[in-house]
Every structure is written in structure tokens, then in C-alpha cells.
Structure 1
Amino acid sequence: MKYPWKEPKLSKPANNDLSKQWCVEYGAYSQVRDKIIRKRVTLSGDTIEERLKQADEVIKYLNDYFKNGDVFVEPLGEPEKEKQPKASDGITGKSTIKKALEYYQATKLPTLSKQSGRTYTSIAKLFTEYLKKNKLQNLPLNRFDTHQANLYFDRLLQAGGSNNKHNKHLGFISTFFNFYLKRRTITENPCEAISELAENAGNHKPFKPDQIADIKTYLEETNDRQLWLFINFIYYTFSRPHEEVRLLKVSDIERNTIRIDASTAKGNRVLYKKIPPGLEQLLQQYRIRLAPSHYYVFSRSGIPGPEPVGEAYFYDRHKKMLDSLELPKGYDLYGWKHTGVISLYIATRDMKKIQRQCGHTSIEQTDQYLRDLGLFAEFEDFNNFPEL
């Protein structure tokens, strides 16, 4: 089906005033509103020449992308509300960890779903109580080191915490420090050397072949190309949906591999995921590499854009799809990772391939992961079991 659109054009002050907004305006069809809606890409740059060059790049990309007439925005549900970033609050490395944590929460919480927000608030509360109990709340942010981090996670396990609880706290606290690391407020993340603990992979059910067929048909009928691409990224790269796939940039997609930045990857180290033929075909079909390199692969416009979607964006769309298909509880976006692992293992029986694509640091970790998925129990050969 062909969708109408409005060609992009540069909008700027008549006197080229750099203190005012420059943008590229265009129109894209909205299935929700059944009309062309106005969209814009804000331009940046310290000189007139830089902004004009960026405008040319954006206009060329949009014209190339829309020329086939198969692009639309907001295919399901209501448009997501814009999330305004918070202004800097003067946090430095010498600020207390208590103050830094409060500012991080105030900035992060508006971007989360209600469920994620409750989880973050709960973990932050426990972490704050630990800091207060051990008289660390006034410790400078840049003085909370790896030793302090290890002590916290040791206490968490000694108090009866599960592997799952350890990993959730590690995810929150590591992201907290990465927030300031990326802003160059601190020079290192004290959680970098702390590993996640093995969990039961059965918390996220892998999808069965008949379910996959129904989902593919549903997405074709609703023409939700963006959700289908998002699912395929998870399936082929064994990456986490919210932290790794959602924040991918066009520059991360290389010729044969996809780069997962250390600030979003598990273990806080750079990961490289092989691009299988099925995913490469989609990358070319969706013309992802044609977009400006600094764009996020998944934006609210339905195509690559300067801002990523929120954490709940694909979760909500995926859940609505599962509800429409009346799938039982236990299926979610993360389940596509397990689905991909199972498919590759059945096809190859190659644990090293699984290890590399998952980014596991050891073959033992991969072995445990596959056992948690029930693969060895299901596929090992019992035909030669000796009789008594």
C-alpha cells in the first residue's frame, strides 16, 4: 500500500540566526489520525555551513526513504508523549552520591514505564538505605569505587538476595554510574568488573513455530514494519530489547557485525554481534545504512531519527499484539532472544557460535544458559541408553 507524504524542506530564520531553531520539516502519514502529520528534525551545528550541510544530508535521506511511499508513523495505539530532558543540576564528581542519585532518579523516572519506574524506585530505596546505614551517603560520587560496589553486592547476597535480585540491582546501579560516566562527571564505572549471576532462563518463554507464524501474519496485516524489524534484531543478535536494541545507532551497524556499546551492553564491555543473512536482508530492505550515522535505528517516526523511542514504546505495542492474538501469559519481547538461541542451536549444535553471539565470557556460562532453556534435556541422544 502506498502512503502519502510531504517532501522535506529546510526551515530556518531569514537572517540565519544560529541562536534560533533550524530544522527540516516534512510530513508523514499517520494511521492513527488518518492524515499526513507534520514532523521535524532539529538541526545542530556551530556554523551556518555545518547546519546547511546537515540539512542536505537529512533531506536526501528522507527523500530516499519515502520515495517508495511505504512509510507511515504511529501504526498502533496513541502517539507517545514527548519526553523533555532535564537540565543539568550542577552535579560534579565531588557531589555526594546521595545528591547524584536523587538527580539521576528525577531525570530517569519520567522516561520509564510504570512497572520499570516502580522497580527503579524500589532498588534506589534499598541502595539509599545501605548508604545511610554505612555512613556513605555523603561520600563524593567519584570516591565510590569497585571495593565499595563489591561490598554492596556481597551484603545483598548475604541478606538472602537471589541471583535475580543481584542482577536487577546491578543493572540499576551500573546504569546510574554510566549516566555520569557518559557525561564525563566520573572517569570509571565501579560496577564494570562485577558480573551478572546465572538466572533461570524460563522467565521469558520462547515462541513456538505456530505462534511465530500468527505473529508474522498479524504484523503484515497491520503493516507494522518497525515492530517486525525490532523483533528480528532481538532474534538474530541475541540482544536485550530495552537496553541494547532500542539504543542502537546507525553507526553501530557495520558491514558484517553490529556493535553494542559498553554503556548499554551486559557486563559494561563492547560486544560485536554477527549479522546473519536474514537480518542483512532486512537492513537492506529498510535502507537502514542510508540514514545519518548519528541517528538511532528506532525512533518514534517509524524510521531512524535523532532521538530513540522510550523504554515502554515497543513493550506496549508488542503486548497489544500478544493480547490480540490471545497468547497465554509468560511471553514478552525478551522471549525472542531465547527463540533465536534455540533456533541456532537446533540448526548447528555449535555452542561456540551461541557463546559469541550471546557475548558470554565463558563456555560454562553458555552451557548453563542452554541447560536453563532445556535444550540439552530435549536434544541429547538417549537412544543408546544401556538397558539393565
Structure 2
Amino acid sequence: MKPDYNEPKIYTGGVDINNWSKLTKKEQKTALSKPWYVYYSFRNPETGKLIQQKRIKASANSYKTRKERLAILKPIQRKLADILDAGYNPYLKDNSHVRDNLMGGRKIVVKEEPKPIINDAPKTVEVIRAIPKETLQVKDVAAKEENITIVEAQKLVLDTKEQVLNSNSFPKFKSRINQFYRWLYENGFKETDSIDKINKKIVIQYLNQVLQKTSARTRNNARTDISTFIQTLIDNDVLHNNFVKEINKLTSKAKRNKSYNSTQLRDIKEYMEENDPLLSLFVDFIYYGFLRPIEVCRLKIGDINLIDNKMHVQAKNKLVKEKIIPKILLDKIPDLSSFSPSDYLFTKSQIGGEWEIKEGSKREYFTNRFKKVKQHFGLSVDYSLHSFRHTATTELYKKISKEPNMSPHAVKSKLMLITGHSSMSALESYLRDIDAELPEDFSRFYK
């Protein structure tokens, strides 16, 4: 006969826990950014198929290390195996025989087949709780769910997110959550209040106040981060429903960076080459390398492979991606052989060197440096460093479109390899946003 269940296992972020020491720091961090849990499958008496049951996370994901998480999940895994061996069935309403078998140390003998009640099955974790601790021999399984205070929830979430968000995203997330907490305290909440007191109505009141003081875009950003906050508590078995997802986003006008026309582009490049060569090369990586300004700030000497003409970029849509260095950009890169691979490609004063400040601060530094160029040409706030990437994409799209025997799909497919967009729909959306796709002159239709 086929077994009614499989052995409980521990999900450890998609990596082999036995090879943990062989993983890179980045791979370990990625694994720890995912929720870990105990899981198993049980055969559905109606369909005869093995169905995965409710995952058991306990409080494991509130801890930052592999050792701490396994210290919680392994006892649960062992004791869950014990109660399954003792006859536990998640599809039965009455599992009292499990306790008797565990307490008496007897093998289960079922004389009559209990009638399954599919829609009233108790949670596995509740069965674990029902068994005395002396039987389980677990001092601190941490499987029971307790209401924690709002200040404890704040610490749990911020500690967790600090490990998984990058140095640019986490400060913004932390700031928005702390602003929400200041509002809570100003409106009668106390640190000792249960996190359950925060509900949909409370969050809507806060978001309305944010909207009145700022903008729809800022309000939407606050909504997103509070939703992430609640979801992290759900992942750690503190809460069970992300009510923030039910709150609608508001329509907001996205800030748009204008593209430069051919005359502006030529004049700006000539001016920077003469007055600020370092900034000029920084812009070349944006324009010819199709990088975002912050991606250029992340580049290190070791990321530039001048032998194979490639560079490794820590991008927005994935951890690291490989891009070619076109010859037009390659010819502009100076000799880098005297620098350490760990040196940053761009610093405040030169190519190559140490510059240990936050990525956001680096981007802001070059943004402010470019403001002097904008002031010289009298450019508005609609123009930025990012505008060079828009301009390059638009120009390249037009030139590829003029090649013979190139369908619109073929043009976009070729362009997508260059720009690094993750999907065709993402590229098409980007092209619409920057108005790269424009119709031919349609005057003849009026004749």
C-alpha cells in the first residue's frame, strides 16, 4: 500500500543546507531572505493524491542565521514526524488517539476507519500544541502564536528587512515605517499595545493624512511599505491577513525625465569633455552602456573585463547581470591595471579608488555635479543624468528600425538585448514612456 504521508522536510530558501559553507555570502543572504518552514504532504482520502499541508514557520524567520532558524525548525520536524507515525491525520476531525499513542508509546491500531471531514480539518500545528511538552521533549519549539506588541513587531520587521534589502532601499523603508509609528503614537497608540490593534481603518486614516500633506505618489509609496511591513509579520506567523492590499492605489503623475535633442547632446558632451572629463566618462557609461546612474556608481574595477569586453552590473531587476562593453565605450576607458579589483570605478576625484559611502549618496553626488552643467545650458528640472539613457534608447531604436528587413518585433528583440530589459512588455512600456515610438508624418492623409 502507498504511504499516507511523506516525511516532514525543512525548506531552507532553495539551497542545500548541507553545502551551506560552500555557498557565497550573497547566496546565503538570498536564502535567508526567503521564509523557511517545515512542510509535508498527506494523502487526501477523497482524491487519493498527496496534498501539501499548511506550512509551519513558527518564529524561525525572525532570526537572521541558519543556526538559529534550524534550532527552531528541526525540533518541529522531528516531533511532527512522531505524531504522523502515531496516526495523526489532518483530514480527520478527531485525532485524540494520537496523544494516547504518544503517551503510551504504543503503535497505532485502528479498528474502524473514522469518517473523513475534509472541511473541518484541524491545523497540524494545533495538534502539536495539544500534546504535552513532556511528551514532545521540546523546551522551546516556538510553535505557538502569540500576539506581540507594536514595538516588538517594528523591531522584528526592521531587523528582517535590514538583512534582505540593499543599502539604498532599506533606509527609505525604515524611514516610512518610523513615520507611520510616530503617527500611531501621536494618535493614542502605546508601545505595549498589541499589533492586532492596527487594522485597515487605522492605515487608511494615516494614508489620508500623508496624501493631504504630500502627494498621491508619496501616499502610494507609504502604502507599499506598510503592506510589506504587514506581509513580513504574516511570513513570521504573527498576523494572518494583509489588509493593506485591499486599500486602492491612487493615480499619480510619474516624474518624467526628458530626452535630449541632438543639438543639446552634442553641446553638453563637448562642454563636459572640456570642463569635467570624469563626469563625461560617467555619462558615457549611462549613454553607451545603457546603465542607470546608480548602477554606474556600483561598478568596481573587478567588474570591468577588458579582455572579453564585458562588465558585471548589479542591476535593478536581478542581482548581477553581464553586459558587453561596446567598442565606442571601451576606447574611452583608461588603463585600469594599477588598481585593485575591489576599488570603485568612479570616485569623487578620479577613476579607480576607495569610496566607502552609501550608493544613494554617490548617485546624489554626481546628480549635484551635473546640476552645474544644467545651469550652464539653462536646462529645466525635467532633464537629468537618467535622460542620457532615454536619449540613447530612442536614438538606437530609430537607427535599428531603418535597417532593411527588420520587423517591429525584430527591432525590439535586438534592442532588448542591448538595454537589458527583462521582458518584451517591459521594453515596450519603457519605449512608450519615453516616446521613442512615434508615427511617420501623416500629413498625406489630409490631402
TM-score, normalised via structure 1 length: 0.49
By relative contact order (CA 8 Å, sep 6+), the higher-ranking structure is 1
Give the number of the structure whose alpha-carbon radius of gyration is greater.
2
TM-score, normalised via structure 2 length: 0.44
